[in-house]
Chain A
Amino acid sequence: MNRTDSKYFHAIQILEDNCTGCTACVRVCPTEAIRVRDRKAFIDPYRCVDCGNCVSVCEFHAIIPASDSFDAIKKFKYSMAIISSSFFGQFSEDISYANAKQAVKKLGFDDVAEEASVTNFMIKMIRQYIRENRDCRPILSSNCPAVVRLIQVKYPSLLPNLFHMEAPMSILTRFMRNKISRDTGLQEEEIGIFLIVPCVAHVTAVHQPEGAYKHLQDGAFSTGMIYGKVREIIKNVQNNPVPIDTYPHGLTWALSGVQAELVDADDIRVLSVNGVENVMDILSRVEDHYLDQYDYIVLRSCTNGCVGGCLNVENPFVAMSRIKKMIKEGNSHDVDITELEDLHQKGEFKVTPLAPRPIMELDKDIKKAIQKMKKINEFLTMLPGLNCSACGSPTCYALAEDIVLGKATLDDCVVLKRRPPSD
């Protein structure tokens, strides 16, 4: 994986040779983290929240998601894959849930586990947390790493509202590492635990978890990459099926709306929101205390939840429909959660309080910030107001801000250059 010198690691890479400087990515970035200068795009690592919008919109394969090399699993005496619940919605209906899971194992893992196996435990834990933290309502879900980072950078006053507990795949990682070590006698560092994830935000979270007390996973693979490998061997698996546990009712975790319905109770009112634009709108309203009637808000950066992740292969609506079918038709056996509950009682799943990462402040000193704002307004009156992004900043306002912060000049405005001086 490529690590930049910056304090913040991101699982997004720009291939300069492919970049045409078209500014499509600049315009879809929710935190205005991308600029095109000298006809190449670059990402400000402080502002990026790993939502993946730029990856999806780039037509030139210039912005590509980074994930770990599959060979990484060979470095360990024992390797396990933990599969995101959105994964099984990717396959056409002639490939069964059990076959797809068996095929993942056959790729070279000693065992596979599923995010879906801890859904019931998560729901119980979330409800308990909501009831114990009524003073912080509405509680905001923290499973989506892009949403957590968005709150850190743009809505820091809402950090206390975040559900301060590990996400299900991390909980499962802690539990499994412990269990495998006990069962096999191997040291914890001899066990490799890898996630199969639907989005870049989760790849980033594996390499730079927010608020984690200790080391979690050893790598992350994209759903798309594993999907390709599974398709190669699926015929063989279908001809030689072996019994394998599945958790169809737990797949609800992949769908933000269905998850909200599960947390909902007589004393818990839940709202479900997905898509990064909607998420920002809702967070702004929470800031205004306008949504205080809700106890819990499920927030997912991608359309429909994790099924909309940019590393998936299937359309988020088709994947959602398939998962709903699996939930409806599947027989889930009860998962014994007593061990998980013991660990929860011991405080194993707690995370450190999340710190703000403000990106909007013009200056630490409010007086200087006001002076800069005055200058921004002066430059804004000189700019054409077309918001065309041709300068490489997303809007005229952003260019004015870049000029005042010393990151651009008025000459970057293509439209002003073309206009006769008298105009």
Chain B
Amino acid sequence: MAEYRFFADGFEERVSDYLSNKPEADVELEFAVPEKDFNTAGKGSSELKNLLKRLGVDSEILRRIAVASYEAEINVAAHSQGGVMKSAVHDELIHVSFIDSGPGIGDIEQAMVPGFSTADDLVRELGFGAGLGLPNIKKNSDAMRIVSQEGGSTTLEFLIFF
């Protein structure tokens, strides 16, 4: 079992406050992300963006959430055997989680290196797999956590404050 954690500067305390309180989400959204289905991949983050526009989330923050969730959704479609995208909206932040059903990330530190990718030919042909997904999610989020079981499930989650 491997784990990777990241906090943007100055956010560690706010994030641990949130995690220790574990408040119930005000609004939740859930989408299935089927394996290698690039026609529907991206739909979840697109719907999430519509929801956030209705809530009046600041447009620059909205773009960061959109980029991070789109990258993560494509990652699940491209690299896993499929999974689910769960978004939990709170007063001050959004918590988005992606839980897939395998096969797990062998070396998370390596996966975080810009340009590193294990994408297969089909994925590359479709214009994905440039190895920028995870670094891009990290760049746009206030906190990120990946937990992966080699041969098993991976959970990627990030928090972005409004």
A→B interface (CB under 8 Å)? 154, 156-157, 284, 287-290, 356, 358, 360-364, 366-367, 369-371, 373-374, 377
* Contact among B54, B60, B162 with A373 in the assembled complex (CB-CB below 8 Å): B54
Please provide the chain B residues from 52 to 72 with a CB less than 8 Å away from any CB of chain A in the complex: 53-57, 59-60, 62-63, 66-67, 70
Give the chain A neighbours of B9 by CB distance below 8 A: none
- B55 to chain A minimum Cβ distance, whole angstroms, is 4
Check A370–B27 contact: CB distance below 8 A: yes
What A residues does B53 contact at CB under 8 A? 154, 358, 360-361
Residues of A within 8 A of B46 (CB): 284
List 30 A–B pairs whose Cβ atoms lie within 8 Å, in order of A's numbering. A156-B59, A157-B63, A287-B62, A287-B66, A288-B45, A288-B67, A288-B70, A289-B63, A358-B56, A360-B50, A360-B53, A360-B54, A361-B53, A361-B55, A361-B56, A362-B54, A362-B55, A362-B56, A364-B56, A366-B55, A366-B57, A366-B162, A369-B55, A370-B26, A370-B27, A370-B55, A370-B91, A373-B27, A373-B54, A373-B55
Q: In the assembled complex, which residues on chain A have CB atoms less than 8 Å from the CB atom of B60? A: 157
- CB nearest neighbor in A for B58: A157
Decide: A366 and B49 in contact? CB cutoff 8 A.
Answer: no
B89 within 8 Å of A (CB atoms)? yes
> With an 8 A cutoff between CB atoms, is B113 at the interface?
no
B interface with A by C-beta (< 8 Å): 26-27, 45-46, 49-51, 53-57, 59-60, 62-63, 66-67, 70, 89, 91, 162
Chain A residue contacts of B59, Cβ below 8 A: 156-157, 356
**Contact in complex: A369, B56 (CB < 8 Å):** yes
Known: A287-B63, A290-B70, A371-B26; 15 extra A-B contacts, CB below 8 A, are A284-B49, A287-B49, A288-B49, A356-B59, A358-B53, A360-B54, A361-B54, A364-B56, A366-B55, A369-B54, A369-B55, A370-B91, A373-B51, A373-B55, A374-B26
In the A-B complex, the 8 residue pairs with the closest CB atoms: A157-B59, A361-B56, A360-B53, A369-B55, A370-B26, A288-B66, A288-B70, A373-B27
> By DSSP majority rule, is chain B's interface helix, strand, loop, or mixed?
helix
Residue in B closest to A361 when the chains form the complex, CB atoms: B56
Q: Are B70 and A366 touching (Cβ within 8 A)?
A: no
The CA of A360 and the CA of B67, in the complex, are separated in Å by 20
Q: How far is the CA of A284 from the CA of B43 in the complex (A)?
A: 11
In angstroms, Cα B62 to Cα A380, docked, is 24
Q: How far is the CB of A280 from chain B (nearest CB, A)?
A: 11
- Chain A's closest residue to B68 (CB) is A288
Query: How many angstroms between the C-alpha atoms of A383 and B162 in the bound complex?
Result: 31
Chain A residues with Cβ under 8 A from B50's Cβ?
Answer: 360
Cα A358 to Cα B45 in complex, Å, equals: 20
Complex Cα spacing A371 to B27, Å: 9
Alpha-carbon gap, A27 to B88, bound state (A): 30
A56 smallest CB distance to B (angstroms): 25
Chain A nearest CB: distance from B127 CB in Å? 10
From residue A31, how far is it (CB to closest CB) to chain B in Å?
A: 12
Distance in Å from the Cβ of B46 to the closest Cβ of chain A? 6
The smallest beta-carbon distance between A44 and chain B, in angstroms, is 16
* A366-B91 in contact (CB<8A): yes
Least Cβ–Cβ distance between B136 and chain A, in angstroms? 9
Docked complex Cα distance between A362 and B26 (Å): 15
Q: Tell me the minimal C-beta distance from B81 to chain A in angstroms.
A: 25
- A405 to B: closest C-beta gap in Å: 11
Residue of A356, A366, A367, A373 ringed by the most chain B CB atoms within 10 A? A366
Min Cβ gap A49→B in Å is 16
Closest A residue to B59 using CB positions:
A157
Assembled-state Cα–Cα distance A215/B152 (Å) = 66
| Given known contacts A284-B49, A373-B27, A374-B27, A366 and B66 CB-to-CB distance under 8 angstroms | no
- In the complex, A371→B60 CA distance in Å? 23
Most buried by B among A288, A358, A360, A363: A288
A196 to B81, CA, bound (A): 57
Closest beta carbon of chain A to B158's beta carbon, Å: 15
Which B residues lie within 8 Å of A288 (CB)? 45, 49, 63, 66-67, 70
Contacting pair B62 A157 (CB below 8 A): yes
Nearest-CB distance from A421 to chain B (Å)? 29
Contacts of B26 in A (CB 8 A): 370-371, 373-374
Q: A288 vs B137: C-alpha distance in the bound complex, in angstroms?
A: 12
Quick one: which of B56, B67, B91, B162 contacts A289, CB cutoff 8 A?
Answer: B67
**Closest approach, in angstroms, between the C-beta of B51 and any C-beta of chain A?**
7
Please give the distance in Å from A366's CB to the nearest CB on chain B: 6
Nearest chain B CB to A369 CB, angstrom units: 4
Q: How far is the CA of A366 from the CA of B53 in the complex (A)?
A: 11
List the A residue with the shortest CB-CB distance to B53: A360
Closest to B50 in A: A360
**Chain B residue with the shortest CB-CB distance to A359:** B53
Smallest Cβ distance from B142 to chain A, in angstroms?
17
